[in-house]
């Protein structure tokens, strides 16, 4: 096991514990992970390793800020992926996020079905929204009335670390020669 891998696993373990218990990832972990990734890569590969870590950290934070801006993930998750990028590089961080998103989609589907929420959170609101549009179309108004139920309100939420850990493992399997 390389020092980068050991650092990554330690960061994921600590972030998992805090995210599952308190539903937040503290800045001491994320910023500390970023700094540790910069130091380890700078120490192991010199200036080239340091630039690789800076690109991984900055690129991950900038790209994942979009997911944060639309409400898909929390700020702690953005900073965590910045730390993953500083430790393992930008390609690994982005592969990890993509794999984590796939796992999160699966978890969301399981939660919808297991909680019996498919009807109440998706089917019924979608039908009500469609019905409001149809009723408004008959009265020559093509936009929903105020108070129309949006099918995308009140999403099911869960700690994203439940998807990040399997996503990182999947990404490591995909990029094994490189990390």
List the structure tokens of 92: 């690994």
139: number of Cβ within 10 Å: 8
- Per-residue confidence band for 110, with pLDDT thresholds at 50, 70 and 90: confident
Average pLDDT over residues 78-88: 96
Flag whether pLDDT at 32 surpasses 60: yes
Report, as an integer, the average pLDDT of 110-130. Answer: 66
Question: Radius of gyration (Cα) for the chain, nearest Å?
Answer: 20
pTM of structure: 0.77
| Rounded CA separation 103/98 (Å) | 9
pLDDT score for 109:
82
CA distance 85 to 59: 8
- Predicted pLDDT at 71: 83
Given this model, what pLDDT does residue 179 score? 59
Arithmetic mean of pLDDT, 49-72: 93
pLDDT at 141 over 80: no
Q: What confidence category does residue 152 fall into, taking pLDDT thresholds of 50, 70 and 90?
A: very low
Q: Is the pLDDT at 67 greater than 70, yes or no?
A: yes
Model confidence at 175, in pLDDT bands (50, 70, 90)?
confident
The answer, yes or no, to whether residue 147 has pLDDT greater than 60, is no
Joined tokens for residue 113: 């079905």
pLDDT confidence of residue 134: 52
The closest of 56, 106, 48, 114 to 80, measured between CA atoms, is 56
Residues 131-157 have a mean pLDDT of: 51
pLDDT at 156: 66
Q: Give me the chain's average pLDDT, please.
A: 83
The answer, yes or no, to whether residue 65 has pLDDT greater than 50, is yes
Check: CB of residue 161 under 8 Å from CB of residue 20: yes
């Amino acid at each position: 096991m390389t020092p980068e891998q050991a650092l990554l696993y330690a960061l994921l373990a600590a972030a998992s514990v805090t995210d599952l218990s308190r539903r937040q990832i503290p800045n001491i972990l994320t910023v500390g992970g970023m700094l540790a990734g910069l130091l380890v890569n700078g120490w192991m590969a010199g200036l080239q390793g340091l630039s690789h870590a800076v690109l991984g950290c900055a690129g991950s934070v900038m790209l994942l800020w979009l997911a944060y801006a639309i409400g898909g993930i929390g700020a702690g998750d953005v900073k965590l992926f910045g730390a993953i990028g500083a430790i393992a590089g930008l390609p690994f961080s982005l592969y990890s996020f993509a794999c984590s998103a796939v796992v999160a989609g699966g978890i969301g589907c399981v939660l919808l079905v297991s909680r019996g929420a498919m009807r109440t959170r998706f089917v019924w609101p979608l039908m009500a929204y469609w019905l409001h549009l149809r009723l408004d179309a008959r009265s020559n108004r093509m936009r929903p009335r105020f108070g129309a139920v949006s099918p995308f309100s009140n999403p099911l939420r869960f700690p994203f670390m439940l998807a990040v850990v399997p996503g990182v493992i999947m990404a490591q399997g995909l990029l094994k020669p490189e990390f």
